[in-house]
Structure formats: C-alpha cells, structure tokens
Amino acid sequence: MVLCPYVFVISKHDIAPLRLQPSEVASAHWVSLRALLSPSQRTVEFVDVANRYSRDLRRWHNHFLLGEMVFAAVRLIPSESSYSTSQSGFIPAESKRVSAASKLRRWWRNDPLPAPSLDVPLHLWGLTLGVMADFLDLLPPHNAIRLWIYPTFTAYDLQFILWVMSYRFKARKEELLLQGIADMGSPITLEDGVQAVPVRNESFAKPQLVDADGPHYDAGIEGLSLGRMARQPKRGSRSDAVGSLLEGYYDYIRRSIQVTMLTRTAVAATLLFYFIKRRRRI
C-alpha cells in the first residue's frame, strides 16, 4: 500500500463540532505541537508480538519466548478530546461473572473499578509517528527523528543479539543519512534517482564537513535533520526518514530471532547434558 499524507490548516476558529463515526473512530484529540516537540513526552510502546508475526515464523515462537516488541512512542497530551460515547465499552460494564482472580487483583491494587477508556494513555507510535516525525522534523529544533528508536524486544538476550547483528546496518544507515540520501535501496520512491544531499542541522554547533556549498553540520542518527531544512532543491531525493531507516531492518529482526532460538536451545541442551552427567556420577 502507498500511504499519502496531506497537510491542512483549519482557517476558521469556530468550525462545527466533530462528528465521530462510531464504527471507525473511538475518540478524537487535538494535541499541541509543543507537546509533540517536547522530549519529556518521549516514551515506548510495548506491543504483543504474537499477532504480528505468527504468519511468518514457526508456531512455537510465542509470546512467552519472545516477550513484547518495543517501539518508539510519544505520549499525547490533548487540549481537547471528543469521544464516541455511544460505543460499548466507553462506560466500562461490570461483567456478570467476575472471576476470583480478577477480584483478588482489584483488592490487591485497592482499585474497586475497572479503568475507563479515558484513563488509558494515548501513545503515538508506528506509521503515524513516522509521518508526524517527518513533519515535526521541519520545525526547530529539527530533532524529531532523534526521538525515534529502532524497534526491539523486551527479552534481554534477543535484544542483545539484535543489537549486535544490526550494529553495522545501523551505522551504514547513519552514514547514508549523513550524506543526505534519504531513500536508499528504494527506487520506487524516487523520480530523479538518488542524489547526495547536504544536510544542515542548526542545533549542532560544530560544522564537520565543509565543501563548496559551505559548512554542513554533523547530524548523527540521533540528530537527523532531513526534509525541508536540508539545503537541497531536488525533488525525488526526499522521502520519509523513518521508512528509510527501517528499510531492511526487519530482516535483521527475523535473523536475530532465529539466532536467539538456536542459542537458547544450545544452552538448554548443554545444561541438560551436564545435569544428566552429574546424576549418573552420583
């Protein structure tokens, strides 16, 4: 699917109240750009992996083995919210049969009521964060992409193996993005071919590259400043930064899962062998 984002500005102060389509929209929120630009609202989103990959990997890779996936996220602080109040679940209903475990849990937490939907924090992550980051990066301090992290996992061994295996991949991406090539390996996003583009990041003090166009500042993967503020007029060499960073990354995820599984199996087999040997000696 090709996703096409469009930007609109509401030109009137007093537009009609929003009318939410209940089958599609649970709630709508106006969020200040200041809140989105604020580093203090950066967080992570934990996503249960099982649903996302069960088609691709073997069945026995389940939630228990892999843990959850961790994605970059921004907590939203709305200034104004509307809700589809007619939707079931807006006012939490007490289920007719409350299990003993659930009652115990509530007693332990000293929380007599199930949480209403309004208490669930709003997290912006994934594709929508990618689109928003592209826009935010155009505004000072031009570090929206800095807030983005490569997805990883909660399981520590998998996290480590993924980090090791993807280290050079990420370093290569950083290099390419430093040169300003925003859309490597993806000719469908180009019209004019790949162009090297000087990157200018005003939030860094020291210029590190100087060429005929003048000094350019070292952006680094954490201080990327691609997009409009990059001093390049050529169309076709601008693409979505997050998409570019992710391109090819999921291969590393797949491979690191395989390596982790093999490693765990090897370790388990070794331990089993050791204990059997010990028992035989006794």
Residues in region 52-81 near another protein by CB under 8 A: 52-53, 55-56, 76, 78-80
Burial class, 73, CB count within 10 angstroms (exposed 0-12 / middle 13-18 / buried 19+): buried
Torsion of CA 252, 255, 256, 260, to 10 degrees: 180
Residues in region 15-34 near another protein by CB under 8 A: 15-34
Q: Which of 50, 65, 131, 259 binds another protein (CB under 8 A)?
A: 131
To another protein, the closest distance from the beta carbon of 203 in angstroms equals 13
Q: Which of 42, 50, 165, 248 binds another protein (CB under 8 A)?
A: 248
Q: Does 186 engage in binding with another protein (CB under 8 A)?
A: yes
Q: Which of 130, 148, 176, 180 binds another protein (CB under 8 A)?
A: 130
Q: Does 162 engage in binding with another protein (CB under 8 A)?
A: no
- Residues sharing a CB contact under 8 Å with residue 140, sequence separation 6 or more, in sequence order: 202, 203
Of the two residues 172 and 272, which places its CB atom closer to another protein in the complex? 172
Q: Does 250 engage in binding with another protein (CB under 8 A)?
A: yes
- Residues sharing a CB contact under 8 Å with residue 256, sequence separation 6 or more, in sequence order: 158, 161, 162, 165, 166
To another protein, the closest distance from the beta carbon of 281 in angstroms equals 46
Q: Does 101 engage in binding with another protein (CB under 8 A)?
A: no
Handedness of CA 3, 4, 7, 10 (dihedral sign): negative
Question: Could you tell me if 181 and 230 are in contact, meaning their C-beta atoms sit under 8 angstroms apart?
Answer: no
Here the tokens at position 97 are 């049969």
To another protein, the closest distance from the beta carbon of 110 in angstroms equals 22
Residues in region 79-98 near another protein by CB under 8 A: 79-80, 84, 87-90
Q: How far is CA 102 from CA 108, 119, 121, in A?
A: 10, 19, 22
To another protein, the closest distance from the beta carbon of 138 in angstroms equals 5
Q: Does 2 engage in binding with another protein (CB under 8 A)?
A: yes
Query: What is the Cα–Cα distance from 229 to 202, expressed in whole angstroms?
Result: 9
Tokens 């400043």 found at: 225
Going by the DSSP 8-state scheme, the letter that residue 200 receives in this structure is -
Distance from the first to the final alpha carbon of the chain:
63
Q: Which of 239, 245, 256, 260 binds another protein (CB under 8 A)?
A: 239
Query: What is the Cα–Cα distance from 88 to 210, expressed in whole angstroms?
Result: 60
Handedness of CA 238, 239, 240, 246 (dihedral sign): negative
To another protein, the closest distance from the beta carbon of 263 in angstroms equals 20
Q: Does 120 engage in binding with another protein (CB under 8 A)?
A: yes
Q: Which of 100, 113, 188, 205 binds another protein (CB under 8 A)?
A: 188
Interface mask toward another protein for 197-236; x: CB under 8 A: -------------------------------x----x-xx
Q: Which of 66, 132, 144, 176 binds another protein (CB under 8 A)?
A: 132
